[in-house]
Amino acid sequence: MEMPRIIRVGTRASALARTQTGLMVDRLRQLGHTVEVELITTQGDRRTDLKIAQIGSDGVFVRELERALLDNRIDAAVHSLKDLPTAETPGLALACVPLRGMPFDVLVARTPTTLETLCVGAIVGTSSIRRVAQVKLLRPDLVVRGIRGNVDTRLRHLDAGDYDCLILAGAGLERLGLSRRITQILKPEAFWPAVGQGALVIQIRADDAAMHRALEPLDDPATHRAVTAERSCLQALAGGCLAPIGAWARDNEAGILQLGACVLEDCGEEIKKITMQKDSGGEGGSEPVQLGLRVAESLILQGANEMLTRMRDGVSS
């Protein structure tokens, strides 16, 4: 297949999605490609009145983009990797994972503070089950209140006094030029990010060899290996992108891939948490996948499956 005269790239319409897509489009144009951007509204964008878990299963921010790919309306889709289900859609491929941004969650408050120094009863805005559980574990005296909408909408609610602080993805704030709003970076093992957080992925049709070649220069091998390990762990735990599972993989100073992961359960009276960290040990080409499987197996031996089953039952009831 010859390279199309124009590469059509699909993205969600939020300011963050458009900014992230713009970074990839700029790279493609620098490589000499002609690119057009198509804005596509997803189910997750339309139903801001509901919690994400109430809208449907995994993929509420990606399914419409995938359909546009399969229907040949676009040639590539740019996603936040943490929004993407672990099961790949038949006919589509994850062709490129660019250099990762900040992988951590951050605290955003109106005044300089940290999660540890917030006043008793302070209102924390987040709708992520994973984030809610970790806030409750670290500060059970805080009030966690759900919040939906894009980054600008959430910040307006914060500045209006509806919340004392928010927990957001640090990479999104950095890409929007809002790093100044960050008051604390929340890092493992105290606070685990979502699988794939801070990473972008470009999805294409699996049989589109020309797009594979066009995107190859944008791929960052170290980031690709790290998120492959994280997603392998998540898939082995049968946890979707909404599950209370955190993970972070990275190369250490010796160049060895390391993966840590966390599974949480909100039992009402208490939060249960199990963690596991391992390194790859140099296992060859399947190293990231095998590392993810080993970490998942260790978590399962500690009771992860039972915890996740109870959490899923609780969300669906």
- If you average pLDDT over every residue of the chain, what do you get? 90
Domains 7-98+199-219 and 232-316 share a fold: no
- If pLDDT is split at 50, 70 and 90, which confidence band does 283 have? low
pLDDT at 2 over 90: no
Name the CATH architecture for the domain at 105-186: 3-Layer(aba) Sandwich (3.40)
pLDDT at 285 over 60: no
- If pLDDT is split at 50, 70 and 90, which confidence band does 184 have? very high
pLDDT at 87: 86
CA atoms within 13 Å, Cβ hemisphere of 256: 10
Is residue 83 part of the annotated active site? The answer reads yes
Secondary structure class of 184 (helix, strand, coil): strand
- If pLDDT is split at 50, 70 and 90, which confidence band does 33 have? very high
DSSP result, 16-50: HHHHHHHHHHHHHHHTT--EEEEE---HHHH-TTS
Query: Of these residues, 58, 83, 105, 208, which one is catalytic?
Result: 83
Q: What's the CATH fold of domain 7-98+199-219? A: D-Maltodextrin-Binding Protein; domain 2 (3.40.190)
Place of tokens 């969600």: 12
Give, as one character, the DSSP assignment of residue 205. Answer: E
Name the CATH architecture for the domain at 232-316: 2-Layer Sandwich (3.30)
Strands 92-96 vs 200-205: parallel, antiparallel or unpaired: antiparallel
Q: Where are the alpha helices (DSSP H) in the chain?
A: 15-30, 43-46, 52-55, 63-70, 129-138, 151-159, 170-175, 209-215, 221-236, 287-301, 304-316
Integer Cα distance of 78 and 24 in angstroms: 8
Place of tokens 């209370």: 244
Q: What is the mean pLDDT of residues 185-190?
A: 96
Task: Let me know: does 304 contact 291? Beta carbons within 8 Å.
Answer: no
pLDDT at 67: 93
Integer Cα distance of 266 and 270 in angstroms: 6
Q: Among residues 182, 186, 198, which one has the least CA distance to residue 82?
A: 198
pLDDT at 4 over 60: no
Q: How many CB atoms lie within 10 A of CB 96?
A: 24
Domain ranges in the chain are 7-98+199-219, 105-186, 232-316
Counting residues of the chain whose pLDDT is more than 90, the rounded percentage is 77
Strands (E), 228-284: 245-251, 257-266, 271-279
- If pLDDT is split at 50, 70 and 90, which confidence band does 313 have? confident
pLDDT at 83: 87
